[in-house]
Structure 1
């Protein structure tokens, strides 16, 4: 569950928030959110201990909590995009895959807009999936106080 690949380049809460909010549902987050943060911080402490360091000095838990709120606005945008892509109809996903090369060629904005509108058209089933994902993310952000500073 722990992904440290970007910690050197970026704040670790970005990976942590993406993992939690993109890979779980609202009900699971309500039940386990604080446990997951505690687990993350304890695992960080174990890994830092290997180098003679302590998480409470390098990245204290209260700083993790503050960073969750600090980066929430940025992460919300990434999560909306992720939810859009993960709820995409398979037929549209195939169209995007097939046309990726086309987006690299010079074209006019109307063609790009028309293609994007076609790609992100959902039938009723996928609209419900998308709606549930988005509502769950927003409900979780509200529940954990991540929307207060926006």
Structure 2
């Protein structure tokens, strides 16, 4: 979505992702993005800062709408949900990264007949970058105290 000013120039842009629309904690979206769209180094550099910035921005927006964040989504609830829900990022990474980071030539054909199926097609399915990214997700889940 874009806000266009009087001079027909873009003033502001907001990205709206309707793909996973549901009634859920915002932590599910943060977990999905944080662990499927970033690597270990970026999380190391920005994990805590990103969560802090997210909550500060959320607080600012809730306040602008005339509500008190402490009444509707206090910081202690946010932190408790991080511990409880953030491991969703592990699940989403396991499901998403092998598909997103696979090499086309390594992707098995899915239209083969059952009698022609050979399990060895899965031996090299995970690219090296996918393996490293998934290992990083596991390491971060442990180092951040999430699992």
**What's the TM-score once normalised by structure 2's chain length?**
0.71
CA distance in 2, matches of 1:140, 1:52: 37
Does 1:55 pair with 2:69? Answer: yes
1:29 counterpart (36, 43, 48): 43
- Closer, same or farther: CA 55–138 of 1 in aligned 2, 3 Å: same
CA distance in 2, matches of 1:10, 1:143: 25
Shift, 1:11, TM fit? 1.1
What's the counterpart of residue 84 of structure 1?
98
Shift, 1:4, TM fit? 8.0
What's the counterpart of residue 122 of structure 1?
124
The root-mean-square deviation of aligned C-alpha atoms, in Å, is 3.1
CA distance in 2, matches of 1:17, 1:115: 35
What's the counterpart of residue 142 of structure 2?
142
CA distance in 1, matches of 2:15, 2:51: 11
What's the counterpart of residue 107 of structure 1?
none
Number of corresponding residues: 131
Shift, 1:117, TM fit? 7.3
Post-superposition Cα deviations, 1:80-108, rounded to whole Å, max 9, x if no partner, equal 11111122112466956xx6xx9xxxxxx
Assess if the C-alpha contact under 8 Å between 2:101 and 2:130 holds in 1.
yes
Flag structure 2 segments of 5+ consecutive residues without an equivalent: 1-13
Flag structure 1 segments of 5+ consecutive residues without an equivalent: 103-109
What's the counterpart of residue 68 of structure 1?
82
Shift, 1:9, TM fit? 0.7
Assess if the C-alpha contact under 8 Å between 1:89 and 1:122 holds in 2.
no
- Closer, same or farther: CA 23–62 of 1 in aligned 2, 3 Å: same
Assess if the C-alpha contact under 8 Å between 1:88 and 1:122 holds in 2.
no
Provide the secondary structure at the position in 1 that maps to 2:140. helix
Q: Judging by fraction of residues, say which structure has more strand.
A: 2
* Greater Cα radius of gyration, structure 1 or 2: 2
Shift, 1:139, TM fit? 1.0
